[in-house]
Structure 1
């Protein structure tokens, strides 16, 4: 024992000395780096006093002594080093220092000077003579490599040597610095550049990219697939982006090409900037023509064409539109002048010829019309034009039928026109728009599909208009980009600018990158100079998402309106500014600005009046939203009703509003129904049967519940909640086998011979009261009265949600329903004591984020589980999930995802002996589940089907039979060791362990039917299957809504949960 103690003391002493020596040697190096040799000497002396034979300390003594000219002291240290460490690297370095103390040292110093003055070859020769065996080690190696580095040929040798030094002495920063300087040297950079270029040449990505780019002309399909794969690998690669952008242009998918070129431009390659920028340039002319074609009034058409003709005064498309507008106004002189000018500069312009001929015919000037058509048989162009005129007549018929509400005849006329002229994009456009208005979208797409990828300008423009009307900006841009640059006229370029403006507005509204938003604002500001509606859209985006480096949206719009030419579209600028005032939460100012127009609405054109009403509706809605935010819901109803009246639908009876917000047709109707939904309420009752197989009298559970929930509005303030749940729970009869009976209560400790079999059941009524507002829900109640153990329960929850996020936090105290023991509590047949009735008290929360049908969520809870005479337990649960809407349609949704779950309990109290809780509580549990959720509606039915498969792992440590009573446990151990004659008793410890992977599956379904506007019936089921766990749940329910529900039914079905699961 004494020897061991001495050995331990010696080990501790050696360890302490080594640490002290290291500290002193670190001080030596520190002072040497600061050129304080005196202080370094002091620290070195201390180190040698602690450890006289320490190799590094002796090496430093040799180095410093030779440097100071103290040769005797150096030789003594060298001798001691040779004796103590005869084969060490320190000895080799010390011997090198001795050599350098003589003539070799002068030669070495000369070589260092020569290396610094450009005579590297001679310096290297000297150093290699001084050290023929290579670098001597340590600091001398550093000096050695500095000389060798003066010759570029030695770069690799020096670099490898410095790397070895840095690895060998990681604590010496100067070695790391020397290596970094070597790599940063001109030769190092040259070699690095060469290596990088070689890597690029040999990079499989670059090889694949160049191959794909070379195939763009010969094999575009395979090139597209290859470029798409490459872009996923390197999303910022300029050449890949540009190549894919060009391909999209050739395919007519210009909207997709624009962001590709934008991303390619971010590479800031000056050699390609002009080329890439030119691919994004647009035409103001075609945007003005497009605006004219979309305009509903002659005045708007004339304004738009004036802008177009200011850029290209003789362009036939714009002149023809202008002529048509003059003709609609009855200004025949200006109309004919415009047509003649168009035909003077573009004699065979079909639209102008067609329009002019129709106008001549309608004016009764048939001779002039026939003169234009004379010689048609000899002139194919005129013959074709005549064909187009006839097709145009069919189009005019269709317009008349549409005006009369005869859509079927209009479709027949347009299809007849297409038979005559199948390749006309505008006939196709008119037919597609008619089909689109009837929600026959697939047919409309099929009609326009032939024009989606064409280089013909008019066809591309028609398709772009059609695609953009559906919100498919990318397809519209792609169609325009398919037109070769040389074939693009001002009209196409202008419309491309318009699409570009809309795209920049999307960036300004949605991007979270300040630099990206600033660039989008600059581009949008340039493109919207003379457009009040576009300017208003920019201002609203600035208001809704302010940024310090961007102007205030309202101030910017006011300045732009003030600087606008009062003779140019003054009314539209005023309406646009009023629209911005509404968004700026100044609806009263908007109404004041519109007051002069409200006093004399007859002065407005139809288009102006529509815009005027839209702004006034927005002002009323904003006032209503402000009242709602202040909790003044009755006042909000008044404003929303006013907005609805301005839409042309006066609200006579609020109680008649029974449309759900999601089915409302207008913003005002949605606001009204949302407001009145606060007055919704219901009475919901159900019959629920649950069963879980297990050991009779213990874990078997059969539950019959009759829950009722009353959810009643309290004015606009919130809803009162009343819960009344009648519960009957049964576990069956305990087995007569003493071994099985030992698993219950105190039997093993106090009645090892067994007891009379007993049944386990309970009946009671749970009661609860609560109140719920927009963000808070509070309730208080009891577990079922009549159970052996009854507890107060309740909770307080906060929740908030918007279009993409949901968050909740809850404090709770809830019962554990796993078994009769955990839920109702039970009486021990031996002692007469009652135990069980477990409640979970804790805190929980959930966060989720949903964008584009993808939802990510995280949740968890921490709780303490307590019960009468049950050991206290601590619980932690965490879950993470992600899901995606595979199908998302108005009447059905299919969602699939993955969920990870982790549980941890401090104790495993899963059993049914006295002190256990009878609820599943593994000390570690982890599962991975893959659920699929299909919900939808059909007629008056709503449905839900949710299958899931998963795998789980669980583990626990050993658990005593009686975790709360050591005396009972001791008696049980004694009884198990000496059982009554003929009786075999278990060891009173529940063995722990880890389960392997356990596979499971579940299936849940529900169906609900609206049998009357206020009445709903439904049912549902759930089955779970896993090893040792197979519960089933069946529910039938009836719900009465205090306000009638009309329109499409809500989905999914609303199964009623129990108060215990609240």
Structure 2
């Protein structure tokens, strides 16, 4: 082997470990362990963070990164002494930032929780100065720990005396390299409170409004800041910019009209403008008392000041004084008919609330006519949610003995607010009045009961009755979908009833939905610690169970004496005990599968009238991907609860949730055979419908839409079955009929705008039809209806990804992960109040999830979280920058020195998202070495190279070994799946190097997915050293080759269910230096169909027909030939089979192809482009004909037919979120040669 090839092989061998070392930063194993620990710590899984950090410290006891993380783990455990010990070791070798971070964490853990909550309460009430004093008492003369720096800076900026200090602190936080969007939002909001910096704040809010995690808040703050300025014409550009981005905002449209009118009239300067702006500023900051005083002073000077009337009206509305709010807002509108329209929406809300309260009072007095008149007037108000007035009209209808009309009203209320307790209770009464059984609840929906209003209401568990104001605020919070608004109302309720645990529990749930779970937990546990009554402790236990902190919930319940426990408390204790046992048995399966399985089955055999134990066991098996175990648990549980119908219904529901439709349906049939009650029959009908939907979805995924529709048909016979309608929409999507899917999904959205599954299907259908504007509109509606929902953020990512906006999609997915963690209660939680709950490990089964009977148990992996993570990983592949080292090799059979080939290469590439235009830009360098060996030392072999055939057989010239080495360079750009362009070079260093490249466009021409693909390219023919690099004839010194193929191809691709078919053809010209020009026509057709598909697993087969025809046979190595296979006719029929799947971080694909090929080659002259040389050789042939030294002047033609085929394998393994390794192997048996290829890959994503 020549020196260049040896050097290339050495470079290839070194490239892979070098890339790995670079990715690991010198200690890849330690870095991976530290990152694992940090990831678990960020997810509040301290128990799982311990093992990797212990391994890291065992390997490198003084590693600064490991020491820093170890210290933070001990802080999270509450072990400050151990954390300080790690800090001391860190101080000997860590950098200043690491030491400061640990010191900060230790100090934060020692902050007085009760004092902190008091400071937060003061800030939320608008008493910023008092909040600042409380914060300073907590932090002393030191700067606040990082965990509390933002809220402290916000409090500073809200008090006039410390405003500048607060702005400076917020500016520092926002200017940090790792500053969060929320810190930048806080600064922007604070700037808008001051007229002098308002425009600066608005400019920052404009940029923040585009970020998914704070976009909604930034938009509202932007609009509010414009409102602070009243009718100041200087705000017109900001208002117009807002309207340009959000053209459907009616309030801002009216505001722009007002500002434009103000600009035209050029009114004289308003001496009270600054005072009004300050009053609105204080209102927005939450300083209700100060803002009220300022508005009242303005009105004392001018009782008809419309803006001040409106501002004071808003305050009264927030205080719940609806009658006065209605009066003030009405006066504001009357005094400024043009500009006063900005108060219309608030006025409508105040009037609606006032009329609702009046109608309720009239109904309590049994004045039906007046109550109905008032209620109907409220029903036509422009408000977002009329469910409470619809419910009241239903109550009036029931009083009039008209249950049919009442049913319609209650259903209208429930369509807007599913599960609304008063409407649900009213619907039950209306159905019973008609002689109909109450309808079954949706799967997982808790049982609900009517909640009495006003005086006499007694809260859960014997807690004293709520004051009327607290009850009103709590009831209103129950009707609010936005967790932020609900939290404000519940804080008002808590102010009226500070000792009520149920208000605190509701507030904690609302805060958890906002990602502030630790704050909510502190509120509930503070009361339970300070006043340990059974109800207070029970509320804390309920929250702990919902958060997945089962040991904490168990410890809390243990503090309630058995004799003082209510039935609900006893049920919670049983639930927790069951969870603990199931979790322990499921954990045992990892170490001892047989023992764990046996333990789970023994739990399933335990009689349980609710069925919750069996449901938990079935889910544990399902989560372990043990379908057989889940089915067996279901059978065991049914036998153990033979006489308990509710338990068997719950077991059937758990089997259905585990994807065991046949088993669930069998249990349902067995129950139905026992002549159950009408309510149970309704539950079974729902279950059968769910089984049909699941089966249809599975068949749809497998590409069998016909059978899927047949399975779904019975459920579609129920017009109100929205789940069935959405399954039908998914069928249309699977059948590539997105327009029909969109029609069905939007019809469901019309009836239920908050149905996230319907919105998801509609958006996917709109994307499939190419209607991006419609998809964006559907997304905006979802964001408005559900602003704090992880599923909506996931939809935003998909819309952004379809539009080619990768960065926005990534931000949305990252925000979705954070939001989902908050929804599941898994954000980092603060320490519990002293003495309340002992340290406990996080339940590995996560947050509790409802069973069919209403009982709860844990779930190990949240499906939505997994879906978001998978989409984020896919997006990182699509848009994230990456670097890769790819070592490849190729061995081709043939004669030594001629068509035999060995190739080794190392491709080094970087991939980034192209700036401005989007798409993916790839830059690469590929050192390559090729070698064909030495021509055999025989007359026949040596005569087949160059012009050696013209020499005397006894004087053949020496033929050197064929080899070449060089570096190929190139750049490629790809935009989605419809366009690609690349340009580069064949390896520079080869005897001849050429520019190569190509363009491909593949537009989709129909909504159902038909695509055209057009390709134009110029490529190297890499069959041999001659065709790829070129060679030199030692006899004459003449060089010839390499060969380039220039041409194009067109192809049509047609969807066939979940597969596709294609047909196409192309034409190319092949030419090279010293090589006779040639041409090629090609054609092909085929199909590819999945035989089996489930999740990440798929088996696919198909059929491919290939046809090629070259004008000339130039596959030889004498002067003028090209050294590439060029039959005059080649036809092959191939049958490929591929199996792909995933196992954890490993993805793989295995495949094989079997086919039959027939080909024909014409005879070819030795020297096709040199007539003189060919004539001379012909003379030799004639002269030696019939002798033992006879020579030939032509290569004989031939025809052959036979089997062809190949095998292939691809493996990829993700070492972590960024680094992956891969390998590929190919073996192909072609008509006249074999080829083996291999590849090793190392890729790092950033």
TM-score (norm 2): 0.43
Flag the structure with more relative contact order, 1 or 2, with Cα contacts below 8 A and sequence separation at least 6.
Answer: 2
What is the TM-score normalised by the length of structure 1? 0.50
Instruction: Name which one, 1 or 2, has greater alpha-carbon Rg.
Output: 1
